[in-house]
Structure 1
Amino acid sequence: MQNFEFQNATKLIFGKDTEEAVGKEAVVYGKKLLLHYGGGSIKESGLYDRVVKSLHEQGIEIIELGGVKPNPRVSLVREGVKLCKENEINFILAVGGGSVIDSAKAIAAGVKYDGDVWDFFTGESVVTDCLPLGVVLTIPAAGSETSGGTVITNEEGWYKRATGHNSMRPQFAILNPELTYTLPSYQTACGITDMMAHILERYFTNEKNVDLTDRLCEAALKTIINHAHTVLEEPTNYNARAEIMLAGTVAHNDSLSTGRIGDWGSHDIEHEISGIYDIAHGAGLAIVFPAWMKYVYKHDINRFVQFANRVWDVEIDLNDLEKTALKGIEKTEQFFSSIGMPVTLQEANIGEEHFAEMSKKGTERGPLGNFVKLYEDDVHHILKLAK
């Protein structure tokens, strides 16, 4: 087990009607707030009105910036940075899912920086401080509500890149499972895939003697798997929605990372796909992860056997461990397909025309992943397995 430091200061406020407390939580950080959100869904649902009412009750002045898209754009981030600086904003409130939260985090970092915010994503500069921010979560998926990272897309070249710092962790995150009742099935399924992928990136490690976090990862995966079809078939099942929502947070709050080094190669490959094709991140991960598994499983077949047995209840064939490992990969792919996710690029209407470009761009700053280091040719091969 690796030495580690773990610090996650985000206050979780979980349960029914918890969004009504947002004003009391936000006013601690000042009286001028940037309200950041996506499209019109929060207004149609009435959530926007409830949030604004709670903020106004605390005498908070609100500056709004909507329009966040899936795979959030750096152009809107730059607009947000400008707004915050011009209006001397004290706090940013993100109301939405991972894209809104990631955009808010990037704005929060940019406000504290004199240069262009994209510098953080190219490695030309590093984040050292952020404007404080909070979250009202509407889509359980990305885990950005408690994580210290953000992913942003630059329309110039369609680069999708990540950066992070502990100061990016929200001060509070309000999680009301009822706010997820009206999510379309496809968006719910994308979220399920995304949170599973966050766990899988941590699970496939070269670190030995990490049985506790192995078991925690497996428990989180099985919880998601056990409730996934229920939330799709019964969208207003509060208990199932609550399990999924909490699992999405645990999947990416770094508690499952303690003492181990995760992979993250599949995420980086997916960023190239969604950076160009703008598909949902979860859908891209459902395509990439099984292909990655097929490419690397021989590196540590025992870990893949353990995964098949403990997560998918595959009986271990001691005479043919490879058969067991491949069965676990097959079960993963079948599950993604069963919840309506594409599991090949063809299903997502993506051809081979950008394979070389994605492989080159993805590895231009060095190999991807940690479980197995992936170079340009490796990424190209995984994309071919995914087609």
Structure 2
Amino acid sequence: MQNFVFHNSTKIIFGKDQEQVVGQESVAYGKKLLLHYGGGSIKSSGLYDRVVSSLKEQGVEIFELGGVKPNPRVSLVRDGVALCKENDIDFILAVGGGSVIDSAKAIAAGCKYDGDVWDFYTGKAAVTDSLPLGVVLTIPAAGSESSAGTVITNEEGSYKRATGHISLRPRFAILNPVLSYTLPSYQTACGVTDMISHILERYFTNEKNVELTDRLSEATLRTIINNAHTVLEDPTNYDARAEIMWAGTIAHNDLLDTGRIGDWGSHDVEHEISGIYDIAHGAGLAIVFPAWMKYVYKHDINRFVQFANRVWDVEIDLNNLEKTALEGIKRTEQFFSSIGMPIRLEEVNINEEHFDEMAKKGTERGPLGNFVKLQEKDVRQIFNLAK
């Protein structure tokens, strides 16, 4: 087990009607607030009115910036940075899912920097401080509500890149499972896939003695899998929604990282796809992850056997470990398909046109992943397995 320091400062406020306390939580950080959100769904659902009412009860002055898109754009982030600097904003409140939260984090970092915020995502500069921010979560998926990371897309060149810093962890996150009742089935399934992928990125490690976090990861995976079909078939099942929402947070709050070094190659590969084609991140991961598994499983076949057995209840064939490992990969792929996710690039109308470009861009700053280091030729082969 690796040495580690675990410190997650995000206050989780979980349960029904908890968005009603957003005003008293936010005012602790100042009186001038940027309310950041996506489209019109928070208004049509009534959530916007409840949030604004709670903020105004505390005497908070509200500035607004909506329009966040899936795969959030750096152009809107730049607008947000300018708005915050011009109005001396104290605090940012993100109301939405991972895209809104990631955009808010980028704005928060940019407010403490004199250069262009995109510098953080190219490695030209490092985040050292940010404005405080809070979250009202509406889409369980990305886990960004208590993580230290953010992913942004630059329309110029279709680059999708990540950065992070401990100051980007939200000060609080309000998680009301009821707010996810009206999510379209496809968006729910994308969220399920995203959180599963966050766990798998950590699970496939070269660190050998990490039994506790292995079993925590396996339990979280099984919880998500066990509740996924329920929320798709019965969207207002509170208990299942609650399990999914909390699991999504646990999947990416760094608890499952402790003592181990995760991979993250599949996320980087998927970023190249959604950077160009703008597909949902979860859908891209459902395509990429099984392809990555097929490409790397021989690197540590025992870990893939353990995954197949503990997560999918595949009986271990001691005479043919490869058969067991491959069955686990097959069941992963079948599960994604069963919840309506694509598992091949052709299902989302992506052909080989940009394979070489994506492989080159993805590795231009060095190989991807840690479980197996992926060079340009390896990424190209993963695209081939995914087509």
TM-score by length of 2: 1.00
1:363 equivalent in structure 2: 363
Q: Deviations over 1:202-258 (max 9, x none)?
A: 000000110000000000000000000000000000000000000000000000000
Secondary structure of residue in 1 paired with 2:263:
coil
- Cα distance in 2 for partners of 1:141, 1:351 equals 27
Q: Deviations over 1:321-357 (max 9, x none)?
A: 0000000000000000000000000011111100000
Residue 308 of structure 2 is aligned to residue 308 of structure 1:
yes
Residue 231 of structure 2 is aligned to residue 266 of structure 1:
no
2:294 equivalent in structure 1: 294
1:211 equivalent in structure 2: 211
1:68 equivalent in structure 2: 68
- Cα distance in 1 for partners of 2:158, 2:62 equals 32
Letter in 2 for 1:275: G
How many Å apart are 1:317 and its aligned residue?
0.2
- Cα distance in 1 for partners of 2:104, 2:52 equals 17
- Cα distance in 1 for partners of 2:333, 2:251 equals 19
Secondary structure of residue in 1 paired with 2:162:
strand
Q: Deviations over 1:40-96 (max 9, x none)?
A: 000000000000000000000000000000000000000000000000000000000
- Cα distance in 2 for partners of 1:348, 1:331 equals 21
1:151 equivalent in structure 2: 151
Secondary structure of residue in 2 paired with 1:306:
helix
Residue 160 of structure 2 is aligned to residue 160 of structure 1:
yes
Q: Deviations over 1:161-200 (max 9, x none)?
A: 0000000000000000000000000000000000000000
Moved over 2 A (4+): none
Letter in 2 for 1:121: Y
2:247 equivalent in structure 1: 247
Secondary structure of residue in 1 paired with 2:369:
coil
- Cα distance in 2 for partners of 1:292, 1:122 equals 25
Q: Deviations over 1:104-147 (max 9, x none)?
A: 00000000000000000000000000100000000000000000
Secondary structure of residue in 2 paired with 1:25:
helix
1:101 equivalent in structure 2: 101
Q: Which runs of 5+ in 1 are unaligned?
A: none
Q: Deviations over 1:4-28 (max 9, x none)?
A: 0111000000000000000000000
1:5 equivalent in structure 2: 5
1:350 equivalent in structure 2: 350
- Cα distance in 1 for partners of 2:351, 2:230 equals 33
Letter in 1 for 2:70: P
Letter in 1 for 2:270: E
Letter in 1 for 2:262: G
- Cα distance in 1 for partners of 2:369, 2:348 equals 24
Q: How does 1:5-154 map to 2 (within 5 A)?
A: 5-154=5-154
- Cα distance in 2 for partners of 1:260, 1:383 equals 27
Secondary structure of residue in 2 paired with 1:332:
helix
Letter in 2 for 1:43: K
Letter in 2 for 1:182: T
- Cα distance in 1 for partners of 2:117, 2:93 equals 19
Q: Deviations over 1:293-319 (max 9, x none)?
A: 000000000000000000000000000
Secondary structure of residue in 1 paired with 2:377:
helix
Count of paired positions: 387
TM-score by length of 1: 1.00
Letter in 2 for 1:154: N
Q: Deviations over 1:329-387 (max 9, x none)?
A: 00000000000000000011111100000000000000000000000000000000000
- Cα distance in 1 for partners of 2:23, 2:362 equals 42
Secondary structure of residue in 2 paired with 1:12:
strand
How many Å apart are 1:272 and its aligned residue?
0.2
- Cα distance in 1 for partners of 2:176, 2:218 equals 25
How many Å apart are 1:39 and its aligned residue?
0.1
- Cα distance in 2 for partners of 1:348, 1:303 equals 31
2:328 equivalent in structure 1: 328
Secondary structure of residue in 2 paired with 1:353:
helix
How many Å apart are 1:265 and its aligned residue?
0.1
1:193 equivalent in structure 2: 193
Secondary structure of residue in 1 paired with 2:352:
coil
Q: Which runs of 5+ in 2 are unaligned?
A: none
